[in-house]
């Protein structure tokens, strides 16, 4: 049996074809990577700016219902824990890559470009880079928002209790009254007279109340502080 002779021209042509196929594969990979990079840049640009009055038309059958929240629920959480609910463009912390990855995944599943990002976080996160528990949400219509991702550390377990005085002026007054009462007990008996009496106790208590209230009022005005219901969705630092 005679072996077929090798045609160098044919071999050279196959080599060229293989090289062409490899180049096509490389071009396709490059195109995919370029498209992904463009998508990343678009999402990052949308996170750092854009309009807030947006409705994202998700496929509700594909959404996790446990991640859908009404504005009233968000407001209550922000008031209880002294948080803010603002457009993502005001957020000064670093948004991790996994957030962008989740957004891409959602966009691919629903066939949309997500816009109108909102973030729940402590006030300082909208001014300083920090790591306390930001949540990224997007509007889905009728004052409902969908939670995309949470990152960072959890809030302190006593944050709700610590922020209770700032929910209203009545709460703050109650705290001052209790604090004044406790401080009054620290005053030694007979400090102002030889014999202690209930009248002396209440006079000292009244003095302590005025002193603590004055400090609180000065602190509030000096730093431009306000109560939780007034700041939960305010973009102003001294709100």
The single-letter DSSP state of residue 158 is T
User: Looking at the structure, do residues 144 and 171 belong to the same domain, yes or no?
Assistant: no
The verdict on residue 28 lying in a domain is no
Domain end position, chosen among 150, 181, 196: 150
| pTM beyond 0.85, yes or no | no
Is residue 55 a part of any domain in this protein?
Answer: no
Residues 105 and 183 reside in one and the same domain: no
Range of the domain at 215: 163-231
pLDDT tens-digit map of 2-26? 556 655 656 666 665 665 666 665 6
Predicted local distance difference test score (pLDDT) of residue 129: 43
Helices assigned H by DSSP within 159-197: 159-162, 169-186
Parallel, antiparallel, or unpaired for β 144-150 and 118-122?
unpaired
Whether 34 is in a domain gets the answer no
Report if residue 208 sits inside a domain: yes
Q: Mean pLDDT for the chain? A: 78
Q: 89 near 104, Cβ under 8 Å?
A: no
Same-domain status, 146 and 178: no
168 and 214 co-located in one domain: yes
Which residues share a beta bridge with 140? none
- pLDDT value at residue 20: 60
Calpha distance 133→121 (Å, rounded): 6
Whether residue 99 contacts residue 136, with contact meaning beta carbons closer than 8 Å, is answered with yes
Burial of 14 (0-12, 13-18, 19+ CB in 10 A): exposed
Over residues 86-108, the pLDDT tens digits come to 888 888 777 888 888 888 888 88
- Residue 41 belongs to a domain: no
Q: What is the pLDDT of residues 121-144, one digit of tens each?
A: 887 766 544 445 688 888 888 888
Domain boundary among 103, 122, 150: 150
Q: How far is CA 61 from CA 57, 64, 116, 215, in A?
A: 12, 8, 21, 54
Examine the domain organization and report whether 137 and 183 are in the same domain: no
Asked whether residue 186 falls in the same domain as residue 139, the answer is no
Instruction: Name the more confident of 71 and 219.
Output: 71
Q: What angle do CA 108, 109, 112 make, to 5 degrees?
A: 60
Instruction: Answer whether residue 134 is part of any domain.
Output: yes
Q: In this structure, are 74 and 139 located in the same domain?
A: yes
Q: How many domains does the chain have?
A: 2
Q: Which of 150, 185, 200 is the last residue of a domain?
A: 150
In this structure, is residue 18 part of a structural domain?
no
Residues 84 and 139 in one domain: yes
Q: Are residues 192 and 136 in the same domain?
A: no
Dig out the tokens for 66 from the structure: 């446990």
Looking at the structure, do residues 99 and 179 belong to the same domain, yes or no? no
């Amino acid at each position: 049996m005679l072996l077929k002779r090798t045609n160098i021209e044919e071999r050279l042509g196959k080599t060229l074809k293989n090289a062409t196929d490899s180049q096509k594969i490389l071009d396709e990979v490059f195109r995919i990577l370029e498209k992904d990079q463009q998508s990343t840049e678009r999402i990052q640009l949308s996170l750092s700016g854009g309009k807030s009055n947006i409705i994202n038309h998700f496929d509700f059958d594909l959404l996790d219902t446990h991640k859908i929240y009404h504005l009233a629920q968000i407001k209550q959480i922000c008031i209880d824990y002294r948080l803010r609910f603002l457009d993502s463009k005001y957020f000064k912390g670093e948004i991790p890559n996994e957030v962008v990855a989740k957004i891409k995944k959602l966009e691919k599943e629903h066939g949309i470009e997500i816009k109108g990002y909102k973030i729940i976080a402590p006030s300082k996160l909208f001014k300083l880079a920090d790591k306390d528990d930001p949540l990224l949400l997007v509007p889905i219509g009728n004052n409902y928002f969908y939670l995309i991702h949470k990152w960072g550390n959890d809030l302190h377990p006593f944050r709700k209790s610590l922020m209770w005085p700032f929910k209203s002026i009545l709460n703050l007054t109650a705290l001052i009254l209790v604090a004044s009462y406790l401080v009054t007990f620290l005053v030694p008996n007979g400090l102002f007279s030889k014999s202690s009496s209930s009248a002396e106790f209440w006079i000292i208590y009244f003095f302590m109340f005025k002193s603590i209230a004055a400090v609180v009022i000065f602190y509030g005005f000096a730093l431009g502080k306000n109560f939780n219901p007034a700041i939960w969705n305010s973009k102003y630092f001294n709100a």
